[in-house]
Amino acid sequence: MDNYPKSLDILRQPISLLPVTEVFKLRSKLMGFQTLDEILIESPAELRDKEDFSEHWYHELHHVLNRNGLIHLLNR
């Protein structure tokens, strides 16, 4: 059994299976992200530099992380 905290499981789930908008799923895919974990590897500045980035997408990411008690991971 791995030691990954259960509260962080959402980070490894495919974005396509998360309760997010279709726009968030599409933009994530266009930017090459399959999981939230992959998104969080990037800095906010690196995310904003991506061709398919949008402020709406970023706000939804912020909301998803916040509602799961993981917002602190966005700015690490």
pTM, full prediction: 0.87
CA gap 19, 10 in Å, rounded: 10
Domains of the chain by residue range:
16-73
Q: Are 6 and 65 in contact (CB under 8 A)?
A: no
Across the chain, which has 76 residues, the per-10-residue mean pLDDT values are 65 97 98 98 95 97 95 85
The token duo for 46 is 């690196």
- Within a 10 A sphere around the Cβ of 67, how many other Cβ atoms? 11
pLDDT at 19: 95
pLDDT at 5: 56
pLDDT at 1: 42
